[in-house]
Amino acid sequence: MKNFLSVKDVLPLKTALDLAKEVKANPYADQQLGKNKTLLMVFFNASLRTRLSTQKAAMNLGMNVIVLDINQGAWKLETERGVIMDGDKSEHILEAIPVMGSYCDMIGVRAFAGLKDRAYDYNEVILNQFIEYSGKPVFSMEAATRHPLQSFADLITIEEYKKTAKPKVLMTWAPHPNALPQAVPNSFAEWINATDYELVIAHPEGYELDPQFVQNAKVEYDVEKAYQGADFVYAKNWSVYAEKNYGQVINKDRKWTVDTRKMAMTNNAYFMHCLPVRRNMIVTDDVIEAPTSIVIPEAANRVVSAQMVIREILRTL
């Protein structure tokens, strides 16, 4: 694996899941593989899990890790070519990226969607600049349109908890006060669509996701219908994808909040969320604290997904 940007980079999934299992069973088996190799993690946005789990994964593989928070202590970066740089940006990303590449063997990048210009976001401008100009393998730690390390951890978790071969997975939109990217739901749909599970995506009118991620999943606008018979309930907020009000919040209706009444309509479903989660907006205290809530093992599996990916990249160096 050279770069890790989407599910396409780890197909077939069966092999990816087997490698993940191997890493989980024996996390310190490859300490020599990463010796004298350096991972640089670049964050344009905040993080708790991605920061810690990816660093832990690299340490398990014997690597050195450098972390750069672009918004804390680094020069402000210009990302557009051709701009006369007489404003507050001290450095251009076109110098910064090759410089960063010269200090490491691979780069993890977190660069969320700006949610102002859909074409700019969906062209993955920042991520692609890292791929083009760093000279090093690049993996996504949530880019504008996908969060593949999260989706991979989600899939590993479902594989561990599922009680039937082809579980019914409900991904439901839930309310949030702020405008959030579509990366997590896009990516989750893309990964689940690569399995033979049944995927239902539920959301209010106006929250339709990009069809390239939805594919043949069933889209449900009736929140109660959506829960019926679900084996997993995966909650997430996202902002509008449609061009006309891209990136906006058009609904905060708490009838979409995951609660015990709706969970009772499921097949005793497990509750999942990528975290961070806003209690009593996305999910009630009762549901997230129930024994069927698997958000903590789901987050723990972020080490496993990151370690599988970094190990595969190390093997190509």
Query: Which residues lie near ligand AN0 (CB under 6 A)?
Result: 142, 180-181, 183-184, 274, 276
Helix %, strand %, coil % of the chain (to 5): 40, 15, 45
* 199, 192 Cβ separation under 8 angstroms: yes
* Site of tokens 């780069």: 107
Please identify, among the stretches 13-21, 44-52, 100-108, 209-217, the one whose residues bind ligand CP according to the rule CB under 6 A: 44-52
Nearest approach in angstroms of CB 178 to ligand AN0 is 7
Decide: is 275 part of the binding site for ligand CP (CB under 6 A).
Answer: yes
Q: Which residue is nearest to ligand AN0 (CB)?
A: 180
Please identify, among the stretches 16-24, 172-180, 220-228, 270-278, the one whose residues bind ligand CP according to the rule CB under 6 A: 270-278
Integer-rounded Cα radius of gyration of the chain = 20
Nearest approach in angstroms of CB 214 to ligand CP is 21
Query: Of 183 and 308, which has the nearer Cβ to ligand AN0?
Result: 183
Distances (CA, A) of 273 to 41, 128, 184, 202, 294: 24, 28, 10, 15, 8
Decide: is 49 part of the binding site for ligand CP (CB under 6 A).
Answer: yes
Decide: is 47 part of the binding site for ligand CP (CB under 6 A).
Answer: yes
Q: Which helix (H) or strand (E) holds 96?
A: helix 93-101
Residues 218-257 that bind ligand CP (CB under 6 A): none
Decide: is 273 part of the binding site for ligand CP (CB under 6 A).
Answer: no
The first and second tokens of residue 42, run together, are: 């670049």
Please identify, among the stretches 96-104, 224-232, 273-281, 285-293, the one whose residues bind ligand CP according to the rule CB under 6 A: 273-281
Q: Choosing among ligand AN0, ligand CP, none, which partner's interface includes residue 48 (Cβ < 5 to 8 Å by kind)?
A: ligand CP
DSSP 178-246: S---SHHHHHHHHHHHTSSSEEEEE--TT-PPPHHHHTTPEEE--HHHHHTT-SEEEEE-----SGGGT
Query: Of 52 and 83, which has the nearer Cβ to ligand CP?
Result: 52
Decide: is 168 part of the binding site for ligand CP (CB under 6 A).
Answer: no
Query: Of 10 and 274, which has the nearer Cβ to ligand AN0?
Result: 274
Query: Of 187 and 293, which has the nearer Cβ to ligand AN0?
Result: 187
* 206, 250 Cβ separation under 8 angstroms: yes
DSSP 41-52: EEESS--SHHHH
Nearest approach in angstroms of CB 96 to ligand AN0 is 23
Nearest approach in angstroms of CB 90 to ligand CP is 27
* Site of tokens 């940006």: 89
Distance CA 152, CA 54 (A): 13
Residues that bind ligand CP (CB under 6 A): 47-50, 142, 150, 274-276
